[in-house]
Structure 1
Amino acid sequence: MATLVLTAVGSLFGPIGQLVGSLAGNAIDSQLFGPDDREGPRLKELAVTGSSYGTPIARHYGSMRVPGTIIWSTDLQEHRDKQSNGKGQPKTVTYSYSVSFAVALSSRPINRIGRIWADGNLLRGANEDLKTAGTLRVYQGRMDQPCDPLMEAALGSKCPAFRGCAYAVFEDLDLTDFGNRIPALSFEVIAGDGSRLIEELLVDTDAEVREGTEFPHLTGFSHEGGSLRSVIGTVNRIHPLASDISGQGLAFSGEPGLANQPISLSGPATWDEGEFGKQSGLARTRSEGARRTFSALRYYDPARDYQPGVQHADGDNREVRTYQFPGALRASDALELVSRARSRGTAQSDNLYWRTGELDPALGPGSLVTLPDTAGLWKVVGWEWRTNGVELELARHRNTEAAGIIADPGAGWVPPDRSVGPTTLQVFETPWDGRGSASQRQVYAAATSSGDLWPGAAFFAVRDGALVETGQTLNQRAVIGTLVDLMPPSSALRFEPSAQLLVDLVDAQAELTSTDMAGLASGENRMLVGEEIIQFANATPLDGGRWQLQGLLRGRGATEFEAGQGHQSGALAILLDRGLSPLTEEGLAAGGESYAALGLGDDTAVIANLENPGASLRPPSPVHPVISLSSGGSLLLEWTRRARGQWDWPAEVELPLVEQAESYQVGFGPLDQPVALWTTPTPSLAIEGGEAAALMLASPDLEFWVRQQGSFALSRPLSLGRPE
């Protein structure tokens, strides 16, 4: 067969030279022996990282998605995190794990890596941002690259630098999102220009690379094993190459186009009968080349995250033959290549065997020729030296340029590349809600982000400008926003069905829900606005993370003073739900007036001052003031006590005291410098008539007030007025 003959000639030039016969005689063999329904190297369905001993490390060209091989790893590192479930509730201790490991990517240098997939989702996005905690270092495979410092610390003087091998090192990769195991990884490797594959493959050989070997359609290719002959033969099926050994050595060039000047052959030479061709020097055959040429191309599609794609050529596809090409192609380019291959197969079904006694140095496999008395262009697809000349195998040549082809890559699932956003942090104290111990402060950290992805943040106290460990991490998103418009004052005495406010949420994907009166009564939809706690009945989403809240209960949790002042636009609004992180005792002990958070999207720590400190230990102000004069002239001051933790006022029920003792301060005049001050253990005070008359006569513009004295703080004052 022609391939065997030409391979024998090429063997004079070594293994690479054998490609001459393979390329030149391939057309003959494919017509004598029809291809299988599938041919070419089998494509893999997105292989993932392994660690099998002896696994070859591929060489990559252009951009490809590759699995890599784990070449070093530490044991899992355990991390303990204590979270508070609220005051008086048992704390939850959770454990997380991280690991450090190295992954070999390519046995030739690369430029960089792009995206990284872990269990099918993006671990590293197009902006080179890790989606989970950890550190990534990439070594390009240069011959002067140093040892990785982490590996060197673990292995000492035995640590290899893996020069000539590109690899990546993950340090303390958080495994929380991966079931506490190393996930199945794959990497987008960028290693030069894929269109220069043939030139790069032959760079260390004596073969000459001429014009036309560029493969402009090819964006990536992985050489996972096998000889250079098999790789170049694989490329040749969809990007035809011509080989020549007539010069100084083996040379490769591209398929000639119509711009190439064809060689005019003289009439056929005649000599004794040979292995092929008639004595006349001319024989013509027709074969079913189109039926034996592949009509579908399977490839890796970058538009589908390098998942395999298939493109079919137009025509009779009743007998579909698929060629599997282990390279990355765009869908339109793949369709163009398979269409051109189909067209070449159809044209090459018309074959001529031609004998010539002329030895033209320019004539060789791949040359275009014209024949006397025979129309069209013909391509030399095989030749064989004879004593009297050369026997040529010719196939009809047709221009297979196919410009402007458009193809759809298909709708494969592609994981979203969510950006890691910066952390928004608020730390605040709320009035005690009656749960847990009355002596414990209720301080919360609320954290979220405007980014699509926020994997949490480390939480610190700030002391003397330094970050102090609190033993906590912030792992859940709170609902944080700001008021769009002014929120007017309210008496906070009853439900206000028509009252409403607009709030812009930091996280535009956050959700608010509506509730009914029973839900409000059970404490649903509580929101901290400034230092006032409100409840809302109806939540209506608007555009861009803006919500309209309507039907309000104001001044909840004894925050009627703040309700009476109203709030400016831009005031903070925080939903009081399970998205908050209660500060642990360690966090409260470590902190003071400021706290900090540091997440993946933060260049520096985000600082937040503690808002409304002491609110959970401050008793609510007394209510229902009464001032009267007795018949004897004495002045009687009375009020109704409230208690911390009692957000409702049940009728005819005596509220528990909560404080260590019941005590009140009653004053006359300014709060900071009262003219007179009394202490009473009951919610009333009687002042003798003479003393009361003297006070009011001396200070006609001053009033009486009362404050409850709790175990830890004084309440805000309630004005008692003065008798009329």
Structure 2
Amino acid sequence: MATLLLTAVGTAVGGPIGGAIGAFIGQQVDQAVFGSSRQGPRLKELTVTTSSYGQPLPRNFGRMRVAGSIIWATELQESSNKEGGSKGQPSTTTFSYSASFAVALSSTPIDRVGRIWADGNLLRGEADDLKVGGELRIYQGTGDTEVDPLIAADQGPLAPAFRDIAYVVFEDLQLADFGNRIPALTFEVFTPDDATVSISELVPEAEPGAANVVLQDARGFSDEGGSIGSTLATIDQVFPLVCTTNAQGLQIAAAYSVAPEIPILPPQVSVRDSEDADEKHKRRGERLGAEPLALRYYDEERDYQPSVQRALGLRPDGREIMIDLPAAMNAQGARQLANSNAHRARWSNERITWRTGELNPEICPGKLVRVPDAAGVWLIRSWEWSEQGVELGLERVSPEIAGEIVGDAGLSNAPADNPITATQFCAFETPAQAGASSSIQTIVAAVTSEGTGWRGATLFVEQGGTLSELGTTGNVRAVTGLLSRPIGGSNCRLIERNAELSVDLFASDLSFQSTDVQGLANGANRLMVGGELVQFLDAQSLGDGSWRLSGLLRGRAGTEPAASQGHPIGTCVTLLDDRLTDLDPTDVPAGPQIRLAAIGLADDEPVFNDIQNVGLSRRALMPIAPIKSVLLDGAWQFCWTRRARGQWTWPEDVEVPLVEEQELYRIGYGPTDAPFGMWSAVEPQFVLSVTARANLLAEHGPGSLWVKQVGSYGESPALRLATIS
């Protein structure tokens, strides 16, 4: 009733804004009469982006987390990606989707957009980095905003610019992480002054002095729409306001702002009616137990989720009055406000009616005064003129609370904000794997990054200055790094218990695991160190991504030639496991001018690398175990053991299968690249007569006799059989 009446009076006095102020004052009266256990607009439990027609856009001040409304969108865009196809396996084609759309955030200008959440996880972090592929453009909501080029291309010459609305545009946002749909989005927005919120921002029509009325401890406020009176009534529950009219217009001020000098009221005139003067003079305890004891707000420390802080003290009537305030605060400030609010409400139960015969324009509603016969400071809530004088309604102002009250935001499972880091990778051929086709190259890319926020990369092959896409890597990082100390050569015969590899991984959170001899026999802990395949027993972390790997079994899978030479500092070291990206050899043609490139979200330029160990996976393996016998006529007979690509086990009394097109060996004398003499054999044996040895020695001098296996795709490294001298 009071709300309706005072709305009409306010409109008559001050126009539309006066009507809003009158409604606000009327709500104060209704609240005093009827009361409520839950006050203020209901806080939203982190509502998500909608696209409903007629949905009001909030006015946001300071810093807030908002959902917004989708105001434009295109159809989903489909793209395909081929995966697999290496090691003789069939390739698969996967489909992904992207979307372009615009989201309106605020009907008032903003300064910037901070973090963005998608389905509760961070889509954009503190460093303004998008966690998935796509482009983000931000429009601050000014009156001269230009039309977004993507919207213009879609809508044509009549495309709207959405001026005076703060909004963002996502272009080709990748949706694979969100079930190939537009996710539920919320945005952290900041206005130009994101440290404080004042009444002058909320009510621009108010008298200029309202700029001094600051919402203490509130760093953000969201006005969801409706009348200005409703907004002021919400604020008044926590930050008491006084609204008055004078010759200058409507004035809004803080109810308890202490002036440097507080006037003292003149003596009270006598009361001539029959009512008891003492009863008329002072009233106490009219609203005992009705003080608000809890404050519900948006907590900055919990990513703007709704939180509650309660005042100290007992609840006299067993009920808790909770106030909902759509403001962004921290726990400390909210707890202080809740306690101050309850403390102020308890003291406001003490009221005085004071009648004076003097008319002083400086003593009017909203002013603080002192009373001659009462302690403390009093707020003039109302005045009424009559034949007997001016009757002032006074309310006791609560004294200051000594000390600070600690507030706790509570636990919160905030999503991790892992920065997007740059891509690092190497690519190489590995020895043929067991069960793989002998004609298929085994090419892998070890793609990784130093941070857990890395979201994968797209691989390309460069041919003639043109990049052709090979596919994506996924988000799993390979365990790869560089040798921090050189390692010497090895004869590759036994497990070298005292030998060590010192490795600095590209990412400090990645690790190696120890194993035992049985694990080595089963193929565990295989490393590609340059062109050598190594296995290790023990892994020891030295901190910050540095590792010591010991108990080495070197020269595995026919890589003895690389093991015999050793490796310098900076040699690439990669753990061979399922975190590597297999490449289809039909898409990566061999050649000296072929390079691979990787591009991730944090890579401004492609990261290039050559393919190492070209031909290793299909090259025939060097024979082993040479045996020299002297026949009766003095001739030398040589025998050796054949090996096969992809065969990791050596069953007793079982010959390894022949994976080459034919069994063929080439025996030579002298340099392996330009031998002085050459012979062929189709069995793993060769006889060199006394006469032949003498001729070689006489014509070419001392030298080595060696053998190579001739494979379908090239010769093996040479095995030395003997030295003729």
Q: What interval of TM-score do these two structures reach, taking the shorter chain for normalisation? A: over 0.9
* Paired position in structure 2 for 1:286: 284
Distance 1:455 1:239 in 2: 46
Residues 83 and 93 of structure 2 are in contact (CA less than 8 Å); yes or no, is this contact kept in structure 1? yes
1:586-645 Cα offsets, whole Å, 9 max, x none, are 531498531000001112111111111110121111112234443334443432222222
Distance 1:202 1:626 in 2: 99
Pairing 1:363–2:369 present:
no
* Paired position in structure 2 for 1:222: 222
State which of 307, 310, 315 in structure 2 corresponds to 1:309.
307
What does 1:177-256 correspond to in 2, within 5 Å?
177-193=177-193, 195-203=196-204, 205=205, 207-210=207-210, 212-256=212-256
Pairing 1:584–2:571 present:
no
User: CA shift at 1:440, angstroms?
Assistant: 1.4
Residues 246 and 361 of structure 1 are in contact (CA less than 8 Å); yes or no, is this contact kept in structure 2? no
User: CA shift at 1:231, angstroms?
Assistant: 0.7
Q: TM-score, normalised by structure 2?
A: 0.93
Residues 504 and 547 of structure 2 are in contact (CA less than 8 Å); yes or no, is this contact kept in structure 1? yes
What does 1:349-498 correspond to in 2, within 5 Å?
349-386=349-386, 389-400=389-400, 404-498=404-498
Residues 28 and 233 of structure 2 are in contact (CA less than 8 Å); yes or no, is this contact kept in structure 1? no
Residues 385/16 of structure 1: CA separation in 2 closer, same or farther (3 Å cut):
farther
User: CA shift at 1:427, angstroms?
Assistant: 0.5
Distance 1:51 1:281 in 2: 60
* Paired position in structure 2 for 1:703: 704
Residues 240 and 256 of structure 2 are in contact (CA less than 8 Å); yes or no, is this contact kept in structure 1? no
Residues 265 and 369 of structure 1 are in contact (CA less than 8 Å); yes or no, is this contact kept in structure 2? yes
Residues 627 and 723 of structure 1 are in contact (CA less than 8 Å); yes or no, is this contact kept in structure 2? no
Distance 1:491 1:558 in 2: 12
Distance 1:61 1:543 in 2: 46
> 512-521 vs 290-299, which deviates more?
512-521
SS at match of 1:519: helix
* Paired position in structure 2 for 1:133: 133
Residues 8/369 of structure 1: CA separation in 2 closer, same or farther (3 Å cut):
farther
Distance 2:220 2:25 in 1: 25
> 647-656 vs 607-616, which deviates more?
647-656
SS at match of 1:83: strand
1:439-497 Cα offsets, whole Å, 9 max, x none, are 11111111011012111111111223332222454543211122333334322112334
Residues 24 and 381 of structure 1 are in contact (CA less than 8 Å); yes or no, is this contact kept in structure 2? no
Residues 263 and 369 of structure 2 are in contact (CA less than 8 Å); yes or no, is this contact kept in structure 1? yes
Residues 492/286 of structure 1: CA separation in 2 closer, same or farther (3 Å cut):
same
User: CA shift at 1:540, angstroms?
Assistant: 4.0
Residues 675/508 of structure 1: CA separation in 2 closer, same or farther (3 Å cut):
same
* Paired position in structure 2 for 1:56: 56
SS at match of 2:715: coil
* Paired position in structure 2 for 1:643: 644
Residues 343/24 of structure 1: CA separation in 2 closer, same or farther (3 Å cut):
farther
Residues 381 and 395 of structure 2 are in contact (CA less than 8 Å); yes or no, is this contact kept in structure 1? yes
Name stretches of at least 5 consecutive residues in structure 2 with no aligned partner. none
User: CA shift at 1:8, angstroms?
Assistant: 5.4
Residues 703 and 724 of structure 2 are in contact (CA less than 8 Å); yes or no, is this contact kept in structure 1? no
* Paired position in structure 1 for 2:90: 90
User: CA shift at 1:9, angstroms?
Assistant: 4.6
> 531-540 vs 46-55, which deviates more?
531-540
* Paired position in structure 2 for 1:683: 684
1:526-585 Cα offsets, whole Å, 9 max, x none, are 111121111223334442333343333211110112222222343221111111111114
* Paired position in structure 2 for 1:40: 40
Residues 23 and 242 of structure 1 are in contact (CA less than 8 Å); yes or no, is this contact kept in structure 2? no
* Paired position in structure 2 for 1:154: 154
SS at match of 1:14: helix
Distance 1:406 1:325 in 2: 20
1:392-427 Cα offsets, whole Å, 9 max, x none, are 210112333666433221112111111111111110
User: CA shift at 1:49, angstroms?
Assistant: 0.9
RMSD of aligned alpha carbons: 2.6
Pairing 1:16–2:14 present:
no
Pairing 1:615–2:616 present:
yes
User: CA shift at 1:164, angstroms?
Assistant: 0.8
1:10-51 Cα offsets, whole Å, 9 max, x none, are 331123224555666776654433x32211111111111112
> 53-62 vs 400-409, which deviates more?
400-409
Residues 586/78 of structure 1: CA separation in 2 closer, same or farther (3 Å cut):
farther
> 434-443 vs 542-551, which deviates more?
542-551
Q: 2:626 corresponds to which letter in structure 1?
A: P
Distance 1:133 1:150 in 2: 17
> 666-675 vs 225-234, which deviates more?
666-675
Distance 2:640 2:379 in 1: 110
* Paired position in structure 1 for 2:514: 514
SS at match of 2:123: strand
Distance 1:281 1:320 in 2: 31
Residues 151 and 159 of structure 1 are in contact (CA less than 8 Å); yes or no, is this contact kept in structure 2? yes
> 101-110 vs 658-667, which deviates more?
658-667
* Paired position in structure 2 for 1:544: 544
Residues 627/173 of structure 1: CA separation in 2 closer, same or farther (3 Å cut):
same
Distance 2:590 2:57 in 1: 51
Residues 13 and 250 of structure 1 are in contact (CA less than 8 Å); yes or no, is this contact kept in structure 2? yes
Distance 1:285 1:180 in 2: 66
Percentage of matched positions with identical amino acids: 44
Residues 25 and 381 of structure 1 are in contact (CA less than 8 Å); yes or no, is this contact kept in structure 2? no
Residues 19/76 of structure 1: CA separation in 2 closer, same or farther (3 Å cut):
closer
Residues 390/287 of structure 1: CA separation in 2 closer, same or farther (3 Å cut):
same
Q: 1:483 corresponds to which letter in structure 2?
A: L
Q: 1:682 corresponds to which letter in structure 2?
A: E
Pairing 1:632–2:633 present:
yes
SS at match of 1:620: coil
Residues 619 and 643 of structure 1 are in contact (CA less than 8 Å); yes or no, is this contact kept in structure 2? yes
Residues 287 and 349 of structure 2 are in contact (CA less than 8 Å); yes or no, is this contact kept in structure 1? yes
Aligned residues: 720
Residues 492 and 553 of structure 2 are in contact (CA less than 8 Å); yes or no, is this contact kept in structure 1? yes
Name stretches of at least 5 consecutive residues in structure 1 with no aligned partner. none
User: CA shift at 1:6, angstroms?
Assistant: 5.9
> 394-403 vs 76-85, which deviates more?
394-403
> 163-172 vs 399-408, which deviates more?
399-408
